[in-house]
Amino acid sequence: MMIVLLSGYFSASVKAQDLHFSQFFNSPLTTNPANTGFIPDADYRIGANYRSQWVSVMDVPYKTVSIWGDAQVFRNRIENGWIGLGGVILRDAAGSGNLTSTKIYGSIAYHQMLGYASLLSAGFNIGWANKRIDPTRLKFPDQFNESTGFFDAGVPTSVYFNSTSTSYADIQAGLNYAYFPTDKLYVNAGFSVHHINQPKETFFTDAGFDNRLAPRYIGFLNASMKMNDLVILSPMAYYTNQSKASEFLLGASANYNLSGDGETQVIGGIYYRSNESFIPLIGFQWKNFRMTFTYDVTNSSLTKYNNSQGAIEFSLVKNGYYEEYNAYQRQSLCPKF
C-alpha cells in the first residue's frame, strides 16, 4: 500500500514535467535551442548525460540518458556571425510500468555579434518523440485484495489502454544573449519555449481531458568571472514552468587551475533547487574533456521516504577545434586560464 501512496505523491509533485537534468548547463540543447553552436571557447562539442532518481524508494528507479553534439558552421562566410547545427537523443525509463520515452531532435541557430562585446542568438529545434508503456507490469486499485493487503496480478482490471505507444512531432524555440566586455567577465541569459505545437500525448482514444502537452518555459542567467590566475567563479540561476509545475535553481561553481596553463582543473560547486534539494557538484577538467558529478540531497517533506537520497547525475563534455591552430587564434568569449 505504501508504494501506491508514494506513486501518487510523486505523480502530483512532477505533474506535466519534462525530462530534465540538475546539470542543465551541461545539457545546452535541451535547455535552449539557441545554445546550438553557441560555444564560447571552441568550434564544436559533444556530450553525454546520465541521471538516476528515486533509487532508495522505487523498485525500478527513474533513469535518463542523453547524447548530444553541436558545431559552428559558416563562421568564415558570414560577417560577424555564424550558424550552429546540432542534435540530441534522449531516453528515459520510469517506474515499474517501464514507461519509456525516446526523443530525437535536430537543432539550428543563428548567432550575430553586436559590436565587439555582445552576441545575440536565435534558434529552434524540431524532433520526434515516442512514449511506450507495459501495462502488464502495472498494478491498479481494482486488483488490490483487502483481505491479504497485497495486489493480485491475476485479477482482471477494468483499466484499458487503447495503445501502449504514442508518437508525435515536437518543436522548441529560443533566444540567447551574451555580454563579454573584458577577458575576465562573461554574462549570458536565455529564454526558450518548448512544445510550441502542443502535441497530443496519450495512450487512450478518449481520455476525457485535454491531453496536449502544455508549453514549457525556461529562463536562465549565468556568468563567468576570472577572480585571478587560479580561480574562475561561475554563478547561475535557472527557472522553468510547465502547466502547474515549476522549478527554480540557484547556485555557483568554481574552477581551480591546477596546472598553471589551465589544462588541468578541479571543479566544485553547490546549487539549491527551491523547496526540494541541495545539489553539490564536483568535477575535473583535463585539456578539452570535462566530467562533473552532482547528487541531489532532498530537504523537502520527501525526506521521510527517501532519507534525503535524491538523484545522482554524471556529465561528460568534450570541446574541440576544427584545426589545431584555432585554439590559439580564435577569440574566446568567456574567461580562460
> pTM to 2 decimals?
0.85
Say which range, 68-72, 145-149, 282-286, 327-331, has the weakest mean pLDDT.
327-331
At 146 the pLDDT is 63
112: how many CB neighbours lie within 10 A of its CB? 14
The predicted model gives 73-80 an average pLDDT of 88
Short-list 125, 66, 58, CA closest to 92: 66
Partnered with residue 86 across adjacent β-strands are: 70, 107
- What is the per-residue pLDDT across 281-290, written as a single tens digit (0 to 9) for each? 999 999 999 9
The predicted model gives 75-81 an average pLDDT of 87
At 327 the pLDDT is 58
Which structural domains are found in the chain, ordered by start? 2-329 (2.40.160.40)
The CA distance from 21 to 93, in Å, is 14
Q: Are strands 81-94 and 99-113 parallel, antiparallel or unpaired?
A: antiparallel
- pLDDT at residue 305 tops 80: no
**Inter-residue contact 164 to 133 (CB < 8 Å):** yes
Helix (H, G, I), strand (E, B) or coil at 30: helix
Q: What is the mean pLDDT of the chain?
A: 85
- pLDDT at residue 308 tops 80: no
- What is the per-residue pLDDT across 132-161, written as a single tens digit (0 to 9) for each? 887 776 766 766 666 666 666 666 776 767
Say which range, 34-48, 117-131, 133-147, 177-191, has the weakest mean pLDDT.
133-147
- pLDDT at residue 94 tops 80: no
At 79 the pLDDT is 86
At 218 the pLDDT is 97
At 59 the pLDDT is 61
- What is the per-residue pLDDT across 107-139, written as a single tens digit (0 to 9) for each? 999 999 999 999 999 999 999 999 988 777 676
- What is the per-residue pLDDT across 239-289, written as a single tens digit (0 to 9) for each? 999 988 899 999 999 999 999 899 999 999 999 999 889 999 999 999 999
End-to-end CA distance of the chain: 56
Say which range, 14-23, 40-49, 217-226, 262-271, has the weakest mean pLDDT.
14-23
300: its cell numbers: 523537502
